[in-house]
Amino acid sequence: MDDREFRTAMGKFATGVTVIATDVDGDVHGMTANAFMSVSLSPKLVVISIGEKARILEKIKQSKSFSVNILAADQQELSMIFAGQIKGHREVLFDRLDDKPVLAGAVAQIACEVSAEYLEGDHTLFIGKVTDIQLTNADPLIFYSGRYRALVNENPVTI
Ligand code: FAD
């Protein structure tokens, strides 16, 4: 199996889109990520996966904290900014939640303290202990097969 086939297969898992943000000495750094998952309810834990080349990796190791901002459907531009898909510096303002930098308008802002980290292959998994959450009533941005999508609610399934 080659890298392309693996990436294509993983891209078939539809996800939301998050911006991970951290703060080292007042300098906020953000990165777009969809490798995010809830881990445990008691205690409340989440996991993110950060590539070895990402600049945010060392920053999270230093700050030992991060936020996960689940983007709303109208925040695709923020995803593109924090994935480096839009070149050049753009001014982005951050709010604060439990002293972690968070993005206004996100569907969910999740403040975390790093409780463990695991190097696995070319990524580091950070387990985050959730210290606070803020929710907004908006539809999420979706990522599937390498493209941004939106939820369509024409045929809702009743469970
Ligand atoms: P940089 O390349 O240094 O920063 C990324 C961009 O954010 C730069 O353009 C920078 O100018 C901008 N930026 C950073 N902070 C600020 C700020 N405070 N104000 C304004 N702009 C700022 N990679 C992973 O490791 N894990 C994943 O789960 C993951 N999921 C992804 C999901 C999607 C949908 C996409 C599109 C990409 C994903 N990536 C993921 C790739 C990752 O987003 C990029 O490789 C990213 O550029 C690497 O970030 P970096 O820390 O090296 O940041």
Domain ranges of the chain: 15-144
3-state secondary structure of 11: coil
Calculate the average pLDDT of the chain: 96
Q: What is the C-alpha separation between 72 and 108, in angstroms, rounded?
A: 9
Average pLDDT over residues 79-100: 95
Residues flanking ligand 1, CB < 6 Å: 17, 28-35, 49-51, 54-56, 81-84, 89-90, 92, 143
Q: What is the C-alpha separation between 79 and 10, in angstroms, rounded?
A: 19
Q: Is the pLDDT of residue 156 over 70?
A: no
Q: What is the C-alpha separation between 37 and 44, in angstroms, rounded?
A: 12
Average pLDDT over residues 6-15: 96
CB-CB neighbours of 123 under 10 Å: 16
**Nearest in space to 97 (alpha carbons), one of 75, 73, 58, 130:** 130
pLDDT at res. 152: 86
pLDDT at res. 154: 65
Nearest C-alpha to atom 2 of ligand 1 is from which residue? 84
Average pLDDT over residues 147-158: 81
pLDDT tier, 41 (very low <50, low <70, confident <90, very high otherwise): very high
pLDDT at res. 99: 96
CB 110 within 8 A of CB 133: yes
Mutate to test the pocket of ligand 1, among 10, 19, 31, 90 (most ligand atoms within 8 A of CB): 31
Residue 59 alpha carbon, nearest atom of ligand 1: 51
Residue 89 alpha carbon, nearest atom of ligand 1: 11
Match domain 15-144 to its CATH number in 3.50.50.60, 2.60.120.10, 2.30.110.10, 2.60.40.3880.
2.30.110.10
CB proximity list for 69: less than 8 A, separation 6 or greater: 18, 19, 20, 21, 102, 103, 106, 108, 109, 110
3-state secondary structure of 125: strand
pLDDT tier, 88 (very low <50, low <70, confident <90, very high otherwise): confident
Distance 15 CA to ligand 1 centre (A): 17
Q: What percent of the chain has pLDDT over 90?
A: 92
